Amino acid sequence: MSRRRIPDVVIRRLPLYLRILDDLDHTETPIISSQELGARSGVTPGQVRKDLSFFGVFGKQGVGYNTGNLREELRKILRLHQQVAVGLVGVGNLGTALIRYNVAREKPYPEGTGLKLVAAFDKDEKKVGRKISGIEVFSLINLPELVKSLKLSVIILTVPAEAAPGVLNHCIQAGVKAFLNFAPTKLTAPPNVRIHHSDVMLELESLAYFR
Amino acid sequence: MSRRRIPDVVIRRLPLYLRILDDLDHTETPIISSQELGARSGVTPGQVRKDLSFFGVFGKQGVGYNTGNLREELRKILRLHQQVAVGLVGVGNLGTALIRYNVAREKPYPEGTGLKLVAAFDKDEKKVGRKISGIEVFSLINLPELVKSLKLSVIILTVPAEAAPGVLNHCIQAGVKAFLNFAPTKLTAPPNVRIHHSDVMLELESLAYFR
């Protein structure tokens, strides 16, 4: 099935399934049912089966999915079985905090695979050359060459709202196709480019229920 | 149905449904089907109907939901038809960025209702008394009295990982029951307290697919 046809939110649920499988002891739990995976991720068993069938992954009827195989399949589908080099643009308050948190956080995948933050960028030449938790800050001007040499394929945007469209275009022209945007503004991009918006408001709104 | 029985992720989808309804012109689209709401939020129509039926909200069979009514129902379920006062603890890089973004962001709900960030806290007395985008920074010591006087019911935690458990307990003892945690650490709390963890990693992992 074409990658284009799969709904965005299906892709967004895959890391959650993967997290659940990462947290399981595969010796103790060699098989997981769509019921169990659904209960832990909060969707119906039918939704789990539908999500996974998009990628040709089918459990054994009445039995379930082999947990180890399913984890490997999900890693491959998400292309996390390779190293994914991540860059961050905008070393202000939020950018600095994300670099520190990201570097400090324990990674769930084996060394040499998965996401790795490798470079930061800022237009402010005073910040260039600094290191934050070991991550060097480069000039935004040098982004295109570093996208190539470091194989950056995902960019985190932590620039002010008014700077976001210009920086986005700069990155797209350098060949980047995947962005996580924290700037509080809507961004548009060609159809082959994916932008996810981090939305603290949605998180807070669901918390209002529990207060 | 008891509030306790409803899966967390169901509650987490409600703000997404609400956002979709907020973005619709209710005159042009007086009715929305579970198919349409599902397609826009990326779940199956059955999942939509199941989610809403938890709260006794049922559409007309073969017709759908009245968009205006459904929006009002969701606001009430999420208790966003009242003002929800939000506090933030930890005025470091991340806290400062979230205050600025939150205040700058356009709110989708009418004046006097919904989420409103009203106070920030820090243990560093040098930061106390400062204002960030109009939000005053108070001493953490004064949190209990301000929780009462400002009716703070949701707290955003942007403190370092090692400080998070202590700050959490301080807030729980002051009567707060809902937290959005950005500290890169797992936190535990009594069953009547809800903690959501903001997880940039899950966002980035789904982006790896599209790079």
The domains of chain A are located at 3-77, 83-204
Please say if the pLDDT value at position B162 is more than 60: yes
Which residues of chain B lie closer than 8 angstroms to A115, CB-CB?
201, 204-205, 208
Helices A45-53 and A34-41: crossing angle in degrees, nearest 10, is 100
When the pLDDT of each residue in chain B is averaged and rounded to a whole number, the result is: 89
- State which residues of chain A have pLDDT below 70: 1-4, 104-106
Pairwise CA distance, residues A42 & B96, whole Å: 33
CB A146 within 8 A of CB A85: no
Please say if the pLDDT value at position B26 is more than 90: no
Query: For position A1, what pLDDT does the model report?
Result: 44
If DSSP codes are grouped into helix, strand and coil, which group holds residue B5? helix
Q: Residue B211: which of A44, A153, A204 has the nearest Cβ? A: A153
Q: Residue B105: which of A153, A184, A207 has the nearest Cβ? A: A184
B178 to A211: CB separation less than 8 angstroms, yes or no: yes
Please say if the pLDDT value at position B4 is more than 70: no
Q: Which residues contact B62 (CB under 8 A, 6 or more apart)?
A: none
Query: For position A85, what pLDDT does the model report?
Result: 95
Please say if the pLDDT value at position B1 is more than 70: no
A153 to B50: CB separation less than 8 angstroms, yes or no: no
- What CATH number has the domain spanning A3-77? 1.10.10.10
Pairwise CA distance, residues B121 & A171, whole Å: 37
H helical segments located in A24-92: 34-41, 45-53, 67-77
Pairwise CA distance, residues B95 & B131, whole Å: 13
ipTM of the prediction: 0.82
B204 to A16: CB separation less than 8 angstroms, yes or no: no
B209 to A77: CB separation less than 8 angstroms, yes or no: yes
Pairwise CA distance, residues B79 & B178, whole Å: 13
Q: Residue B9: which of A14, A43, A180 has the nearest Cβ? A: A43
Please say if the pLDDT value at position B142 is more than 90: yes
If DSSP codes are grouped into helix, strand and coil, which group holds residue A206? helix
- For the segment B56-69, what is each residue's pLDDT rounded down to a tens digit? 988 888 889 999 99
Average pLDDT estimate for B100-107 = 72
Sorting pLDDT into bands at 50, 70 and 90, what band is B171? Answer: very high
No. of helices (H) and no. of strands (E), chain A: 8, 9
Query: For position A105, what pLDDT does the model report?
Result: 67
Architecture category of domain A83-204 in CATH: 3-Layer(aba) Sandwich (3.40)
The two tokens of residue A20 are 């659940």
Query: For position A40, what pLDDT does the model report?
Result: 85
pTM score, whole prediction? 0.77
Which residues of chain A lie closer than 8 angstroms to B178, CB-CB?
207-208, 210-211
